[in-house]
Amino acid sequence: MKLPSPAKLNLFLHITAQREDGYHNLQTVFQFIDLCDQLDFTLTNDSEIRLAPEIPDLPCEQNLIYKAARLLQPYRHTATSGIQITLEKQLPMGGGIGGGSSNAATTLLALNTLWNCQLNLEELAKIGLTLGADVPVFVMGFAAFAEGVGEELLPVEPDTPYYLLIKPNCHVSTAQIFTDKYLTRDTPPIKISHALTLDGHNDCLEVVKKHNPEVKEAFSWLQQHGNAKLTGTGACLFMAFPSRVEAERLKRMVPGKWQAWVCKGCNRSPAHKALDQWIEHNRGV
């Protein structure tokens, strides 16, 4: 089985409170984009979990893909319990687009089928939450208005424009952003009915720019051309366009020191679409 592992954007990110456990309550709208990693899953005749290629400075046992597979092993109902997982990496790390969380969710979705674990999406999302707050939205597979730490999800249908996505040459530390004393933590909550009509902001933007001059520079450049936004805790920035032609036109102007992509907003995860097609193709085989 080969499945895409899509990125996400936070169309806005409001931090409404800091909790006693140190985490933050937030409100956001998650939307998928068609920029994806690819994960290939091959059943093996032993009980080992193998992951390739190795990612520099990230031991296999600490990779969220490996952790997700380990969490599903107790639920398997197949004689063949080993798995070889090959990752084709396209999504930049440390960009705030959820690459690691998406990889974990795609692994849960794939192995739930291949190992016949018989878990529903809600059960998979609960398992995924132990790996990270962004994993459940990738497991559920729909664009969502999110609250709590990002795990309370309600389906929404935002517009699906084309986006220009820019990644400055830096890696933003989420922990550094959320522990900064100047981070806004008291944005008034909004109702879901307002979530798609407000031009929401990202409460992390100013702190990210303070700690990361590359993001500040890229944001200033992009802001000259329209409504620039930061996704998650960064470093990726994005801007919406009504057509691919307009997005591609600006992409050609992006300074060469930054990575840039043109992608399409998706309100259903490409991973779910591909999984449904695989199941339909293999039904009765």
Burial of 216 (0-12, 13-18, 19+ CB in 10 A): middle
User: Is there a catalytic annotation at residue 134?
Assistant: yes
2 catalytic, yes or no?
no
- Residue ranges in 224-259 assigned as alpha helix (H): 244-251
> Residue 248 has which token pair?
């591609």
The C-alpha atoms of residue 231 and residue 209 are separated, in whole angstroms, by 13
H or E element at residue 30: strand 24-44
Crossing angle (nearest 10°) for helices 99-114 and 270-282:
20
Q: Is 246 exposed, middle or buried (0-12, 13-18, 19+ CB in 10 A)?
A: middle
Contact 162, 260 (CB under 8 A): no
Annotated catalytic residue within 37, 67, 134, 209 = 134
Contacting residues for 215 by C-beta, under 8 A, at least 6 apart:
168, 170, 172, 208, 209, 230, 234, 235, 237
The one-character DSSP state at 201 is: -
Q: How far is the C-alpha of 167 from the C-alpha of 119, rounded, in Å?
A: 36
By annotation, the residues acting in catalysis are 8, 134
